[in-house]
Amino acid sequence: MRLRLVPDETHIDFFKARYVTFGASVVAMIASIIIWAVMGLNFGIDFRGGTTIRTQSENPVVVSEYRDALQALNLGDVSISEVFDPSFASDHHVAMIRIQAQDGQESVSAETVNQVEAALKAVEPTIKFTSVESVGPKVSGELIQTAIIAVMTALAAILFYIWLRFEWQFSIGAVAALFHDVIVTIGIFSLLQIRFDLATIAALLTIIGYSINDTVVIFDRLRENLRKYKTMPLQEVMNLSVNETLSRTIMTSGTTLLALIALLVLGGDVIRGFVFAITWGVIVGTYSSVYVAKNIVLWLGVKRDWSKPDANAGNQFANIDA
């Protein structure tokens, strides 16, 4: 027997409410930008500069006592948060302490770290530091610039590739969908104040790759059907193409999400931000492949000149291997 998540033939009209779906995507992007501007991102130590200390104790973490103990050290901006994880034992209590870079120093000095440890042990004798990570403010600024360049370069390269492989309308639709995915993901991180660090940038690049893969699969089928059904309206050809690739899309996204959800639940807090970004990206990327990329291609239209002897004429790069 063969597992079938969807029937062999489906006739779903994905473009019946295209104005609603595309409008919702535009609203989500605008809302994400506003949230990003107002609330900002919860930058990790990679982008802010300073020191992150991960602690572990046998007794429950009392954030107010930790904060009072450190207040006398005059360390400036200090963020203390308790870390929850279902895999922790009953006597396994973890906290994350972030200390801003001190004036004139690239990071918090070893002496300051010792003072922090002594102050915390005064209120929690069983506490111990399991990790101490430091990044200087100059390095963090360079990392932000490099991260932006990495994302923009990836989008530009994809724009050029899709333009060669298909037509310019397809490249604009694909890159618009990728911008949608990235901006909405950043908006979610800003809204929920999830830590945004280098691992998140890696997740964004992974989302871009996953989303464009799904988009190209549907574009390939669309191009084949445009040649096969020369007189069928473009919207109907698009619906047919999405329906024909629906089983593949659901199987790919579904199996990917199974692994990601397992990591999200059992992987621990260290990789939770990274896994959450990819999980969200798989969902929103699958959505945007149909309701953003295809809507834009539909509105821009596709040149269908079938009077040429060779259907590939004018599209000589179409057979470049993906």
Q: Is the pLDDT of residue 306 over 50?
A: no
DSSP assignment letter at 290:
I
Q: CATH assignment of 50-135, given 1.20.120.450, 3.50.50.60, 3.40.50.2300, 3.30.70.2040?
A: 3.30.70.2040
Structure tokens at 135: 């990044």
CATH number of 18-43+140-300: 1.20.1640.10
pTM more than 0.75: no
| Beta strands at 50-57 and 93-100: parallel, antiparallel or unpaired | antiparallel
| Beta strands at 42-43 and 195-196: parallel, antiparallel or unpaired | parallel
Identify the pLDDT of residue 322: 40
Structure tokens at 27: 């609203």
Structure tokens at 289: 């492949």
Spans of all domains in the chain: 18-43+140-300, 50-135
pLDDT digit string (tens) for 116-159? 888 888 888 888 888 887 766 555 667 778 878 888 888 788 77
Identify the pLDDT of residue 42: 82
Which residues have CB under 8 Å from 233's CB, separation 6+?
none
